Amino acid sequence: MKNCKLSWTLVVVLALIVAALGYKFTAGEVEKSDDGRVAVLLTKDERNALLQEMRTWLQNTQAVLAAASAQDFAEVNRVATISGMAAEANTPGSLFRKIPVEMKALGFDTRKKFDAIAADAAKLKDSKHTVAQVSMTMNNCIACHATYRFVEKQ
Q: What is the CATH number of the domain that holds 65?
A: 1.20.120
Residue 49 lies in a domain: yes
Q: Distance between CA 35 and CA 13 in Å, rounded?
A: 39
Residue 19 lies in a domain: no
Query: Which whole number is the average pLDDT over 44-55?
Result: 94
Q: Distance between CA 10 and CA 16 in Å, rounded?
A: 10
The pLDDT score that the predictor gives to residue 25 is 47
Residue 143 lies in a domain: yes
Residue 7 lies in a domain: no
Using pLDDT thresholds of 50, 70 and 90, give the confidence band for residue 9: low
Domain count within the chain: 1
- pTM value is 0.82
Residue 18 lies in a domain: no
Task: Check: CB of residue 33 under 8 Å from CB of residue 149.
Answer: yes
Residue 3 lies in a domain: no
Q: Which domain holds residue 104?
A: 29-152
Query: Which whole number is the average pLDDT over 85-92?
Result: 89
